[in-house]
Chain A
């Protein structure tokens, strides 16, 4: 597998994480709002996204493994440029996991409510930090980084603005996506409320995708042509988000557009980053001998993982019922 193959594998892993763990990022912040004061109701909301936790976060672990083995220089550049946001990502991730696993272990209401607050904050911070890292990647692996270091005012504004914009987009996308997952799996009373929240989150998400598209155009104008692809993708995603809002407004929540809006918004930051930063990242890949030597073990493992995950999803993802295991 050459650098392009490894790059695609990395993008697929990140996109898988954005969709699967994104359900958790979007679902957990709804726990307090939809659950109210009733602990059983809160846990019902948690139960809708619970299977996505172990099966989802591992995709980002795998992606960092690929980054480490095939794109070591990319990792070193990204980590040193985005040091504070990488540390923030780690802290948010760890707190999110702890909050979800520990909240229901003790029966005290205060213990549980406390962790729900931590879980909500960390579940917002996690996609925000990831989006910010993606924004740093836009800057460092396009012409923007070099021009900002060279003193160009426009590039410096972009270098500051893109991470913030991408953080906002990632959070808004997770809200829509997670809300739709909760709505699809929860009992009707909770579903209705989740859909109302999704409906309100769609316009901000579309607006942020539109702004990110403008950012991509600016990057393209400065000289990284591949950012044009990102701009087109982001405009398309913004369109889908608005169309989904239109469908929800007329009470149609089972349309294909509504179903597609969540996953499309969730992968938008990853795919856009891949098109902006892709060419520069591929140029920094590990030597060919290293890449070729690892091809078969990694691809074989990935096929096995996909099979295991496919079976798991068939078993686990169905509307809540008497055979749903509640643990979180």
Chain B
């Protein structure tokens, strides 16, 4: 493997991993914001409690996903300077501009607001706390758009001139309204909404398949009618929101997917078979998701969907859960088509990829590939398995937004004292009085 191949493979694997987290961040973000807004506005106590639970459940999944999303994004940010310094030498003045806006404005604010949202949960007034999360969502979308402006410039370079072999901006507006930025960003938004929706629908369906639709007491008393448990209500609401978001997302993703064929015909770039296959898969998935979404939406009035003939219903729920990974795999294909379709160019028609890579040796690049991709993929898999366990655990023992005293004591009791090899620090004396004094900090709620 040459250094060029290793650098490209490393970038592709890290970008792919990063984007899987981005899909959930951007897809679930608006859903959590809407749930929290409805919670903040709810007057009825039971409804408010249900919406609070839903906000905390999906908010916690959002956070566990976000944690690795940031980490993967940081690794991505340094990839350009580490392996493609030619890109910065030639087009740093153009390409660097949206990226510095991304880090200095969008992501800086996003991370700040998210910290305020998580750790200011019990301090901020409800309306301010809700507004903070909307700020997280808006800056998150701004962040994604600036990245698409940078990526769009690579695919369809506009608004610049070359002076002594270095690109400089001549028309910032053209850079921003570049169809390769604007249309692609909207396409990505659709894909993100779809991915978030498949997560909502898949997890909700998993719980609905298992949960009894009536409270045990109601069944025991022989009363008629489907009375819902509070938890069941959370899953039904989540399912409804997911179906709406997914259908809208499929429509947007498909529409702006086709819209991109216009400018793609005019820019240089290869057309290997994998690109054609990826286009076909994306068209199939998007179109099918839209049609099925519309059918399921028609079943929502009167809760027909939740009252279908039982074998049909459980079969449908099981199918919806199994389909959860589909938008994620499709999105990866989308990026593969985008990046492979541009080759052999790093900036279409301006800079070849082989001229953009660093002079680091192939051995060094392969080593960092193994280390960084190994660490990132391992952590991603661990993170997804944690998310799966949290999703299965449902709305019990949510840490996000719980009173601190409950959260502090949510560990299992320790049974494996023999296997514990940690050296106990002999310096501090943990008297029971000191411990009790310590833990009361969260005790008065």
B-binding residues in A (CB < 8 A): 32-34, 36-41, 43-44, 47, 50-51, 53-55, 57-59, 61-62, 64-70, 72-73, 75-76, 79-80, 83, 86-87, 90-91, 93-95, 97-98, 100-102, 104-110, 112-113, 187-190, 193, 196, 286-287, 289-290, 293-294, 297-298, 300-302, 304-305, 308-309, 311-312, 315-316, 320-327
B113-154 with Cβ < 8 A to chain A: 113-116, 118-124
Chain A residues near B223 (CB-CB < 8 A): none
The answer to whether B115 touches A312, judged by C-beta atoms less than 8 angstroms apart, is: yes
Report if A302-B104 is in contact (Cβ < 8 Å); known contacts: A68-B92, A94-B71, A315-B120.
yes
Q: Mostly helix, strand, loop or mixed at chain A's interface?
A: helix
A-binding residues in B (CB < 8 A): 63-64, 67-68, 70-75, 77-78, 80-82, 85, 88-89, 92-93, 96-97, 99-105, 107-109, 111-116, 118-124, 166, 168-169, 172, 358-360, 364, 368, 371-372, 375-376, 379, 382-383, 386, 389-390, 397, 399-401, 403-405, 407-412, 414, 416, 419-420, 422, 424-425, 427-428, 430, 434-435, 437-439, 441-445
Our pick among A32, A55, A75 for the contact of B111 (Cβ within 8 Å) is A55
Q: How far is the CA of A67 from the CA of B364 in the complex (A)?
A: 23
Report if A98-B103 is in contact (Cβ < 8 Å); known contacts: A316-B120, A324-B441.
no
8 shortest interchain CB distances as A-B pairs: A65-B103, A101-B67, A54-B115, A301-B105, A69-B100, A69-B96, A76-B85, A72-B88
Q: Considering the complex, give the chain B residue whose CB is closest to the CB of A74.
A: B81
The answer to whether A83 touches B71, judged by C-beta atoms less than 8 angstroms apart, is: no
Q: Considering the complex, give the chain B residue whose CB is closest to the CB of A40.
A: B408
Chain B residues near A69 (CB-CB < 8 A): 92, 96-97, 99-100
Determine how close the nearest CB of chain B comes to the CB of A8; give it in whole angstroms.
14
Q: Considering the complex, give the chain B residue whose CB is closest to the CB of A54.
A: B115
The answer to whether A61 touches B74, judged by C-beta atoms less than 8 angstroms apart, is: yes
The answer to whether A55 touches B425, judged by C-beta atoms less than 8 angstroms apart, is: no
Our pick among A34, A287, A316 for the contact of B166 (Cβ within 8 Å) is A287
Report if A83-B364 is in contact (Cβ < 8 Å); known contacts: A37-B422, A309-B112.
yes
Q: How far is the CA of A33 from the CA of B111 in the complex (A)?
A: 29
Known: A66-B103, A87-B368; 19 extra A-B contacts, CB below 8 A, are A34-B428, A37-B420, A39-B414, A51-B119, A61-B107, A61-B108, A69-B100, A70-B100, A83-B368, A94-B379, A101-B64, A102-B382, A109-B412, A109-B416, A294-B97, A294-B101, A297-B101, A312-B120, A322-B441
The answer to whether A94 touches B92, judged by C-beta atoms less than 8 angstroms apart, is: no
11 CB contacts below 8 A, A to B, read A54-B118, A62-B104, A68-B77, A76-B89, A97-B67, A109-B411, A297-B105, A301-B105, A304-B109, A316-B115, A324-B442
